[in-house]
Amino acid sequence: MPGRRTARPPRAPSVVVLSRRQAERFLAGDFDDELQEVREALAAGLRERRRRSGLTQAELAGRVGSSQPRIAAIEAANPGTSLDLLIKCLLAAEATWLEVAELIGAARKRP
């Protein structure tokens, strides 16, 4: 009949194919290596950004309410450093959200 719409079949959900190792790591929640790669990329970006902004570690520490030794540990990619603190420091060092995203993306593209 004209003007009458037929129902479309439901779309199949997107499927992500994981290797057995990836699936095991996903189920075990084991992403420490990947997180450390991201942490290292953000830490290197922080050090570079802080220097370009002309800030000392002590000045950056004052901006984020931390201490100079803590900033040094953050820039050294200490495994105990949270990603949110790294991002907070980057933004305090005048990085843009785009720069933060690019740092994370670059870490994920490394072999």
Q: What is the 3-state secondary structure (H, E, C) of 38-69?
A: HHHHHHHHHHHHHHHCCCCHHHHHHHHCCCHH
Number of domains in the chain: 1
17 lies in some domain: no
70 lies in some domain: yes
Mean pLDDT value across residues 45-67: 96
Which residues span the domain enclosing 95? 32-109
pLDDT per residue as tens digits for the range 84-93: 999 999 999 9
The CATH number that applies at residue 84 is 1.10.260.40
Decide if pLDDT at 25 tops 90.
Answer: no
25 lies in some domain: no
9 lies in some domain: no
3 lies in some domain: no
104 lies in some domain: yes
Q: Does 85 or 36 have the greater pLDDT score?
A: 85
Mean pLDDT value across residues 39-68: 95
pLDDT per residue as tens digits for the range 58-69: 999 999 999 999
